[in-house]
Structure 1
């Protein structure tokens, strides 16, 4: 066999090997490939989606926004306000009302607070209270209003088989009649509204979000399984009620012993889904692409137009403090209620929906084989310049074909494996051509150097370890800091003033983080995230993080005064700190990378920052940070279960080591109150708390514990109570 033939077969084998490798990647779908595919999907959604026709339904969103919370009161509201909301919406002409919230516990009747104070001699008063009790029962009032309209309530499925809070209604979904496995999401527990409310509702749907590996919501599940039954999503159930359909009919196809869902049918319309009962959410645009109305305007009867006439109304919140904000392709801070509205909109226009068909994998495998064959033919025995031109042309054709399917036919196929194959084979061919032309003058290392990522060349050259930026798992401390009431603040400033304010805030805050050996992870809106202990190891990362946190609070106080002098609003921040094992490294995609941290410990730090507002404090740390930085003084704040965590943790408010005696006395006094609370000595704890309030004023925190103590005095938690409070918001 001649040298040229041997070279041809060697090149052909290499091409086949790369093609098979890419096909295996397409089959396995590793997380990094899903991240890249998510970016490609976002580009198509944002730049290549054809204009959608106006929705045939009048979709309205009622927003429990900052204005509503200011006028009506902080959440949760007494349910008489929600009853008034339904009553007014019905009067305005709304035909379906869907709540993106769960009422999992009955609201306490005021009469029940009075009864324990009465004696047997108070018969007349007892009789009068019995007459009054139904008149002030907000749950009954709410249920009566729910029954006056077509109202759909929400539930949240869980993976905890021991969780069964509220009531699950029997679904109006045709159930499986034949055995066979399927790929729908499956759950074993739930959190739903109480029976009194659910019984009055016309339907119930789940509100579980489907997150991609990068935390972005691109898909929505229409059906899921709970203990052998299929249940609809909130949007799907709302559409069923809206369309007067009796049942929802899943459309299955069988391959051997496996069942695959291809769509759902309501009446004569069929909406295609993927095998997991998911559809691609057709976001219309940025936040408020659907009309919003403030809940307080409706409750107070301030709507003087016909916007709700024949409307399907989704009731939810965009308030930052209520944590129903999601990351989507169109916005990193997107109200969850608008996601449900977008899915409902897709259900009203099934022929306009972009789908990922069940045959997508076979189609992509065929594309890979055709591209491999085309590249093999075109890239043989031509110059590197022509190779680059041909590769660019094939790359453009592959991308255009994918976008054309999306734009003209509403078909979504993954594109990254095809482009990856084109790029890889093209680079191999170009590198091979350069190598052959310069075999006498250049070394393999020189060719390799052309493809070292430019952003890391200096670091790779300086480090003796080539994997200096590679991922690793180590003990770190993470910090999240967020400006309080940023939405309200931003509305009071022009765009230019807001930019100047944020720049004036971030610069000195970042400087403090750097001065205390921290690493900036990212800025998201008004939030700054930093961590300690990487890339350079730091044995005292928790102490340095706490030093930075107090420095940030101090500089923020100075900035707030300076802002007030300029006529800008004063600012306050909340900071959450947590220490623990985290994944740290240079992560991302070929489009964008970042040296960042990931893991449960990071999520807990974010949750703690969110809880600072709840407790009325500006700094909270976990028990893990406290253990790693014993030099500080700590006031125990609570034992909590935060959203997304099963095990309770203790959280603390730190004070500097050189704190004044008065501060030490304050935290020790509250620690004694908490100890009595933990040991169920609620009467003594309430007395001790009253003594503290006379001297110290942590109003929000003290009010929280006063309410808890009074509640537990009348409703003892039982012997197995561990003192933990469960936070259901982020």
Structure 2
């Protein structure tokens, strides 16, 4: 070998751009791992778990559960709750006696707070004594009565509500936690608690995980399902034990009848075995069972035989008594049901989970990280493959992700494993997307120059559409569902007169900045400024399923930030700016179909909205001043917002026919965000609603009295001197109506004579 014949080829060094891409890409899957570990993706992951439940379908029940429904039929036949407690004693006695059921669970709080205000108190006491005698007889019947933290409604010396916090084992309490509200039976001057008590609480209304116990000092209260399982196996209270992050039920011979794994040391995930409306769920109306219990005491043999046949289906079953009527507000959505169903079903499915031992399982964090990182590495390698087979490899990458989703569904259906789905898919997509975006930086440079040229003159959304489509802007529009937003400063002219032109511009810039930021942060699109008026739309140019909810929340944020701005003006300028710091704005919202698009001439046009929906929003902004409210919305907006889970609280104010229209419309005040409203606001809404009902019935005196009470609790900011509030307005109307009675066919609709 001759040195002269050797050639050394230097290995090309990676460019700085490539190293930068790798440095930017590598942290992406690590970030998804962190998001998964900290639970930030739980909300999205829960959606995939629901899909897995629906894909798997219902499971055969491992034990017999019968639901005795406190339904609309029972309320119609017996009357509104609370009932005579003797009814529950009669039903339990019949179900456990003639019905030969194993255990009864009553998902209903027996509390002295539940005593009726107006009733036959002697009968109520007799019923209480009857139920207490039954529960405390020897041997004690296998009946579990509900206890709860959420049911308590105590008040302090100032009348403010006291909320009992469920004691969480991972959250050290700031003070000694309180026990749950226990079932109470007052007999004479003494109050007795039921012998077998079970918790019925869920966390934040969720039906996914249920806290299985609550510890307060040396006392432990177990969930109702655990107490029912204990009585089903005829075990003493000491048979339920907490060992190494799991609950164990130990039989008399020392055998472990059930080992229940817990999440966060306290919660059990519900493995939903069936929908509420399912042939697997045996259900009977409380009325029917009560009638059967009475028929057992009949002197007619046929009646006793009919009752025995009806109760015979309960033999060997666990019987759960609970409210199912939607008007009792004890419903919630589940992973199998598409609509809220009675919460009593949680206990039945928890029992099936415990008895079948089909607990939902999660992989260890390390295994989850390996899934996320491995899936991302393989998918990205295939997606970025170039050459003639690049398209094929990209297709294989897509099939790989679909295959992983299928594996996760199979693992859930056959092994009850919940493998992560959102994090692996999210990491794969975002990492691939980041790599592709970096390859297209040069092409994006030209687009950024176009945006720089035109972004000052038209909205960013239109600039993006023009760049992406490559077409010249054209006139025209399309009908789309939106929520139109109009706001205006009350008494703007009078306020502006006290300012110099320079001060006026400064003041308006601050005001418009606050309004625009609040709108755009909730996804709204600014249409235009008209002097001091702000016009915007939600739901276009980008479609939003919850545009009504976004608009309502944005309106609340506008008023909140204006309140902060007024305080700042007061500190900075004081009396020098006159009444500027008392400035208030009124907002009108309406939801419906409008024509949205480029409007104007061929040489100059604007992206805007037109139609009756828009006109009505403008009218509502003006009408809000009459009622003295900050934000007024049409009934369509309130309906769409609540359908989307809007966090705002609405108050029905009136049914009006605005100027220029013939059809009446319900108008609602947006009182604010539920989490920020004081309790007196909700009390005011209730009083106002009762007054409005009486007003429409032409009961002027009683209506005026309720409006008087509501006016003392009115939360509407009346920064303008002499400004009416809704309650005061209706007090005046009541006096006027009383002096000038309307015709008999008056329907309560108010017709606006001015804009």
TM-score for the superposition, normalised by structure 1: 0.57
Q: Does 1:410 align with 2:482?
A: no
Gap regions ≥5 residues in structure 1:
115-132, 165-175, 254-260, 478-515, 522-529, 553-574, 579-583, 586-593, 607-618, 628-642, 676-730
Q: Are the aligned partners of 1:68 and 1:296 in contact in 2 as well (CA < 8 Å)?
A: yes
Q: Is the 8 A contact 2:590 2:634 kept in 1?
A: no
Query: Counterpart of 1:316?
Result: 322
Distance 1:278 1:309, change over 3 A: same
Alpha-carbon distance in structure 2 between the residues aligned to 1:63 and 1:76: 15
Structure 2 equivalent of residue 157 of structure 1: 149
1:8-64 superposed Cα distances (whole Å, 9 cap, x missing partner): 43332222121222223223333xx33211211100111135x53332x32110001
Change over 3 Å in CA distance of 1:333–1:376 after alignment to 2: closer
- Structure 1 residue 85: Cα displacement: 1.4
SS in 2 for 1:285: coil
3-state secondary structure, aligned to 2:60:
coil
Aligned-residue CA RMSD (Å): 5.5
Q: CA deviation at 1:6?
A: 3.9
Q: Is the 8 A contact 2:589 2:632 kept in 1?
A: no
Give per-residue Cα distances to partners, 1:696-717, cap 9 Å, x unaligned.
Answer: xxxxxxxxxxxxxxxxxxxxxx
Q: Which runs of structure 2 are paired with 1:526-565 in the superposition (5 Å)?
A: 538=621
Q: Is 1:652 aligned to 2:688, yes or no? A: yes
Q: Distance in 2 between matches of 1:658 and 1:162?
A: 30
Larger displacement relative to structure 2 (199-208 or 657-666) = 657-666
Residues 163 and 26 of structure 1, relative CA distance in 2, 3 Å threshold: farther
How far apart are the structure 1 equivalents of 2:348 and 2:240? Answer: 21
Aligned twin of 2:286:
295
Specify the SS of the correspondent of 2:688: strand
User: Hey, what's the Cα distance between the residues in 1 that align with 2:468 and 2:74?
Assistant: 55
Q: Which whole-Å deviations, capped at 9, do the CAs of 1:399-434 have from their partners, x for residues lacking one?
A: 233223322322213321111111112323444556
Aligned counterpart in structure 2 of residue 75 of structure 1, from 75, 81, 84: 81
Q: 1:82 Cα deviation (Å)?
A: 1.7
Distance, in Å, in 1 between the alignment partners of 2:78 and 2:693 is 42
Question: Match for residue 704 of structure 2?
Answer: 668
**Residues 1:223 and 2:213 aligned together:** yes
Partners of 2:324 and 2:705 in 1: CA distance: 38
Alpha-carbon separation, structure 1, partners of 2:314 and 2:203: 30
Partner residue in 2 for 1:208: 201
Shift of 1:97: 0.8
Structure-1 separation of matches of 2:412 and 2:110: 40
Q: CA deviation at 1:326?
A: 1.2
Partner of 1:192, secondary structure, is coil
CA distance in structure 1 between the aligned counterparts of 2:706 and 2:362, rounded to whole angstroms: 57
Cα distance change, pair 433–343 in 1 and its aligned pair in 2 (3 A): same
Q: Distance in 1 between matches of 2:335 and 2:418?
A: 15
Partner-residue secondary structure (3-state), 2:181: strand
Asked whether the 8 Å contact 2:86–2:131 carries over to 1, the reply is yes
Aligned to 1:240, which of 230, 239, 243? Answer: 230
Given that 2:61 and 2:352 are in contact with CA atoms closer than 8 Å, whether structure 1 keeps it comes out as: no
Give the TM-score normalised by structure 2: 0.56
Q: How does 1:235-274 map to 2 (within 5 A)?
A: 235-246=225-236, 247-253=238-244, 261-267=245-251, 268=256, 269-274=258-263
**1:533–1:541 CA contact under 8 A, matched in 2:** no
Cα displacement (A) at 1:191: 1.8
Task: Report the Cα distance in structure 2 between the residues aligned to 1:462 and 1:109, rounded to whole angstroms.
Answer: 54
Give per-residue Cα distances to partners, 1:223-260, cap 9 Å, x unaligned: 2333464321111211111122333545554xxxxxxx
User: Partner residue of 1:425?
Assistant: 431
| Alpha carbons of structure 1 residues 412 and 382: separation in structure 2 relative to 1, 3 Å | same
1:98 aligns with 2:105: yes
Q: Pick closer, same or farther for the CA change 1:444–1:314 going to 2, 3 Å.
A: farther
Q: 1:671 to 1:537 in 2, by over 3 A?
A: closer
CA 1:228 to 1:294, structure 2 compared with 1: closer, same or farther past 3 Å? same
| 1:392 maps onto 2:398 in alignment | yes
How far, CA to CA, are the matches of 2:431 and 2:702 in structure 1? 68
Q: 1:34 aligns with which of 29, 32, 42?
A: 42
Match of 1:17 among 5, 27, 40: 27
Matched residue SS, 1:191: coil
Of the two, which has the highest radius of gyration?
A: 2
Report the equivalent of 1:716. Answer: none
2:590 to 512, 518, 528: 518
Aligned in 2, Cα 1:648/1:53: closer, same or farther, shift over 3 Å?
Answer: closer
Equivalence for 1:372:
376
Contact 2:104–2:144, Cα closer than 8 Å, also in 1? yes
Distance 1:433 1:210, change over 3 A: same
Separation in structure 1 between the aligned mates of residue 95 and residue 694 of structure 2, nearest angstrom: 57
Q: Deviations over 1:85-115 (max 9, x none)?
A: 122212221221111010111887999979x
SS in 2 for 1:354: coil
User: 2:181 pairs with 185, 191, 208, which one?
Assistant: 191
Once the two structures are superposed, residues 193-243 of structure 1 have per-residue CA deviations (whole angstroms, 9 ceiling, x without a partner) of: 1056995744211111224xxx65222222233346432111121111112
Moved more, 272-281 or 101-110: 101-110
